[in-house]
Structure 1
Amino acid sequence: MVAVINTGHSIRGIFMYNENKVSQGAAVCIGEGNYPIDIEKMSESFKLSVFLRQLQLNENVKRSAVHISLNFDRSDKDLSKEKLMEIASSYMEKIGFGAQPYLVYQHHDAGHPHLHIASINVRADGSGINMHNIGRNQSETARKELEISFNLVRADSRKKQSPALINAIDAEKIKYGAIDSKRAIGSVLNAVIPHYKYTTLGELNAVLNLYNVRAERGKENSKMFQNKGLIYQILDDNKKTVGVPIKASSFYSKPTLSRLEINFAAAKTARAIFMKRTRNAVDLLLLKYPSITLSQLETRLAKQGITAVVRKNEQGLIYGMTYIDHNTRCVFNGSSLGPEYAAKGLLQRLGHSSHSEKQYNTVPDGTAHKQDPFISAAEVQRIIDDVLYAGTPSDSVPKQLKKKRKKRKRKGQSDNN
């Protein structure tokens, strides 16, 4: 089980998000906590009024709205309505929200079972609940206890089995027409945008394309581009857009360009420490398998949790490379790792031409032989040093390079003393 806690300024927004899901047939309100009457007898306005009345007791709490999602593994069995309510109630009790009013919604808009819980952090006596580190402390403890008591698939064990494929919220590759487009795209955006580190829209699209989604700004001379607008579209299996584009601002998480640009800036620093890992993965495979082809390199990188995205033009010529490290959630355009990891440099290292999958040298007898890639001794030593000493700066300085320290003169002491 994976638990995610978010706080906000508007309980009305969180409440309406879930109620709209109910009206669309994508969710069901399966229960409540600390409401005066049963859920079946409550109107929409009454549900909201309980939250609003209690919030009036302390208007100094700015981020008073609490939105929790409890995400279960696809293989979890017997998740009946009654069991889900029992899990939700136990979780709220363990994180200190047992006496708070809350509503529990079962959503059906993703590839895995999950609940959304709407609540507030103002108590009935007007005091506020401290939310600092609640996710890391109380929630993590509650999650582990509930996994045992309800025999749920453990999030920790899933990470050990396949760290490259675990997301806080699972996403599936979209098939147009299978489910509501907005719901399908939203599920992918929630799984990708908050969790991966990317510095450009192109790098973000490299991940989104894995799920048949693309973010588009439009043509440079279009109004949408000039106004910094952004839309999301579904792609078919040939990566062609299908269906109606959906504005970024219409999604609950508001993945607009201005918000993405904040992520771009933050990722430039956050991903820097993980660059060497991706470089080393490529370098070591080239060292271990001197005759490796590009497709074989892609396969072996995938086994290490790194997706190598090869970009080709309409003629099938390779013009770009992007590396997605699902272990560290970092996305790197090839050139950002260095010229030898960009398309041209990598293909040259593989012994290929800069634009095709294979390069052959014609020999006098008319047969074609693949050119053997060559890695110099210096390159081998660099790779080994990177692996052995990555992130371990040396404090030692050769004696010959150390500057002699000048002795400080004492007062009244001349140079001749």
Structure 2
Amino acid sequence: MVAIIKTSNSVQRILNYNEIKVKEGKAECISAINFPLELDRLNFTLKLNRFIKQASLNENVKRNAVHISLNFDPSENHSKEMLNKIAKVYMDKIGFGKQPYLVYQHYDAGHPHLHVITNNIERDGKRIDLHLLGIKKSEPARKEIEETFGLVKAEGRKTKEQFSLQPIAHRKVEYGKTESKKAINGVLNKVLFEYKYSSLPELNAALNQYNVHADRGTEESRIFKNKGLFYKILDKDSKPVGVPIKASDFYSKPTLKFLEKRFKINDSKKEPYKKYVKNAVRMTFYNSDIKSPEQLAQKLESEGIHTILRKSKEGQIYGITYLDHRTQCVFNGSSLGKEFSAKGILEKCGSNIFQHEKHFQKSNSISDKNNKNLEVAGHLQANVLDILMRTENKSDYSLSQFKRKKKRSSQGI
């Protein structure tokens, strides 16, 4: 089992995300703990109000919403009763057993998993400390639950990544397959709150992987001047299809104003992960003979980094963005430094090509020189043989002459 804990300042968005999954038939709410009514009598408003009332006991705490996912091995197929028992034991052991919480079973991934919604404000208004909650309480609880319930044990970081980094390609929006607004909303609920982006192009780098695009329109348009924003679906060629939908029409209100707040929050959140991406790019150049940005992008895929190359109509690369699925961070190349920008990468690739050609020319020069030396040596060898042969022939000639002279002399005598 793998447990992933996330916090938020909006329980409404988390609840909305799970409830939309229920409406789409991709999830089911299987338990409501510490609520005044039974699960079958709770609607969206009653669920939300319970969390809001609890949070109001300490208004100084801004990040009071907790979203936990409990992920199981694909081979495991537990009953709802078993899943509820596991969730209860887990919540008790991490100190949230007396908190109101909802348990949702999701069916939208390649492995069984639960989503749990709760908050960290207790009945007396005290705040449950979330600092190092994963290390201090969640990990020990996970290991104990694996033993108690005979679950498949997590294998470490690689296993966690398999659960948290579901391939984006499997969940792309296809125009006409589902109602456009619902399809886009499902993508927004995932990307807006799980990925760390600090600009609209960076956000689109993540959204585009799902065939969704956020657009402000042209600078002359009314929507741009009024700081409006709409979302649209892209086809397989990354061209917009269907009717764009205004940001304000979505329940979570992912407007430009909302995004600008996220940009500021995410900018600081991304900082600790810059080094990883920079090192990955450097090591890729170091370990491979990269001669084009396309080659670099292909190599980085194996590191969990999707590289977006922005090109002009003429096909010239003018921008580069790195989408790191492991840390769920999006970086514009220039924000990492000059050497990671489109210009820096092109220069590095050009330098590699130059070094390759220089090495090739040097090899050819050495080869030509060796061939020339062999040719000269061949000529010298031929000359020596010629001289030897000529000497040998001359000796034969002189000997025959001597014999003839000797013969004549004997005749004369």
Give the TM-score taking structure 1 as reference length.
0.66
Give the conservation status (yes or no) of the 8 Å contact 1:110–1:187.
no
Query: Map of 1:86-125 to 2, 5 A cutoff?
Result: 86-108=85-107, 113-119=112-118
2 CA distance for matches of 1:198 and 1:178?
28
Per the alignment, residue 145 of structure 1 pairs with 144
Query: Map of 1:248-397 to 2, 5 A cutoff?
Result: 248-251=247-250, 254-272=253-271, 274-275=273-274, 277-290=276-289, 292-351=291-350, 372=356
User: CA, structure 1 residues 80+156, in 2 after alignment: closer, same or farther (shift >3 Å)?
Assistant: same
Per the alignment, residue 398 of structure 2 pairs with none
User: CA, structure 1 residues 247+332, in 2 after alignment: closer, same or farther (shift >3 Å)?
Assistant: same
Per the alignment, residue 130 of structure 1 pairs with 127
Give the conservation status (yes or no) of the 8 Å contact 2:90–2:141.
yes
| CA apart distance, 1:102 | 4.0
Corresponding letter in the other structure for 2:97? G
Per the alignment, residue 172 of structure 2 pairs with 174
Give the conservation status (yes or no) of the 8 Å contact 1:51–1:120.
no
User: CA, structure 1 residues 241+84, in 2 after alignment: closer, same or farther (shift >3 Å)?
Assistant: farther
Corresponding letter in the other structure for 2:93? K
User: CA, structure 1 residues 168+161, in 2 after alignment: closer, same or farther (shift >3 Å)?
Assistant: closer
Give the conservation status (yes or no) of the 8 Å contact 1:2–1:168.
no
When Rg is computed on C-alpha atoms for both structures, the one with the higher figure is 2
2 CA distance for matches of 1:130 and 1:278?
35
- 2:83 is paired with a residue whose SS is helix
Unaligned runs of 5+ in 1: 353-357, 360-369, 376-417
User: CA, structure 1 residues 23+296, in 2 after alignment: closer, same or farther (shift >3 Å)?
Assistant: closer
User: CA, structure 1 residues 272+109, in 2 after alignment: closer, same or farther (shift >3 Å)?
Assistant: closer
| CA apart distance, 1:202 | 1.0
- Whose helix proportion is higher, 1 or 2? 2
Give the conservation status (yes or no) of the 8 Å contact 2:74–2:110.
no
- 1:30 is paired with a residue whose SS is strand
Per the alignment, residue 32 of structure 1 pairs with 32
Residues 177-214 of structure 1, C-alpha deviation per residue, up to 9 Å, x if partnerless?
Answer: 44554454444444444444433211221222223222
CA RMSD of aligned residues (A): 4.4
Residues 240-275 of structure 1, C-alpha deviation per residue, up to 9 Å, x if partnerless?
Answer: 223443444455655432333234334545545654
Corresponding letter in the other structure for 1:84? L
Per the alignment, residue 368 of structure 2 pairs with none
- 1:350 is paired with a residue whose SS is helix
| CA apart distance, 1:338 | 4.2
Give the conservation status (yes or no) of the 8 Å contact 1:214–1:235.
yes
User: CA, structure 1 residues 149+70, in 2 after alignment: closer, same or farther (shift >3 Å)?
Assistant: farther
| CA apart distance, 1:141 | 3.7
Q: What is the total number of aligned residue pairs between the two structures?
A: 352
Per the alignment, residue 364 of structure 1 pairs with none
Residues 60-115 of structure 1, C-alpha deviation per residue, up to 9 Å, x if partnerless?
Answer: 33369755442425725213322222222222322334344544333445665443
- 1:262 is paired with a residue whose SS is helix
User: CA, structure 1 residues 302+226, in 2 after alignment: closer, same or farther (shift >3 Å)?
Assistant: same
Give the conservation status (yes or no) of the 8 Å contact 2:211–2:234.
yes
Corresponding residue to 1:160 among 147, 158, 161: 158
Give the conservation status (yes or no) of the 8 Å contact 2:72–2:152.
yes
1 CA distance for matches of 2:127 and 2:274?
37
Per the alignment, residue 214 of structure 1 pairs with 213
| CA apart distance, 1:174 | 0.8
User: CA, structure 1 residues 350+226, in 2 after alignment: closer, same or farther (shift >3 Å)?
Assistant: same
User: CA, structure 1 residues 252+6, in 2 after alignment: closer, same or farther (shift >3 Å)?
Assistant: farther
Corresponding letter in the other structure for 1:261? E
Per the alignment, residue 392 of structure 1 pairs with none
1 CA distance for matches of 2:199 and 2:141?
37
2 CA distance for matches of 1:169 and 1:285?
24
Which 10-residue stretch deviates more, 83-92 or 105-114? 105-114
Per the alignment, residue 222 of structure 2 pairs with 223
Per the alignment, residue 202 of structure 2 pairs with 203
- 1:60 is paired with a residue whose SS is coil
2 CA distance for matches of 1:205 and 1:349?
26
2 CA distance for matches of 1:329 and 1:17?
18
User: CA, structure 1 residues 269+374, in 2 after alignment: closer, same or farther (shift >3 Å)?
Assistant: farther
Which 10-residue stretch deviates more, 264-273 or 299-308? 264-273
Query: Map of 1:65-84 to 2, 5 A cutoff?
Result: 66=65, 68-73=67-72, 75-84=74-83
2 CA distance for matches of 1:343 and 1:243?
32
Per the alignment, residue 61 of structure 1 pairs with 58
Residues 317-355 of structure 1, C-alpha deviation per residue, up to 9 Å, x if partnerless?
Answer: 433222233444443323334444433443343239xxx
Unaligned runs of 5+ in 2: 360-413
Give the conservation status (yes or no) of the 8 Å contact 1:91–1:143.
yes
- 2:164 is paired with a residue whose SS is coil
- 2:298 is paired with a residue whose SS is helix
Give the conservation status (yes or no) of the 8 Å contact 2:273–2:329.
yes
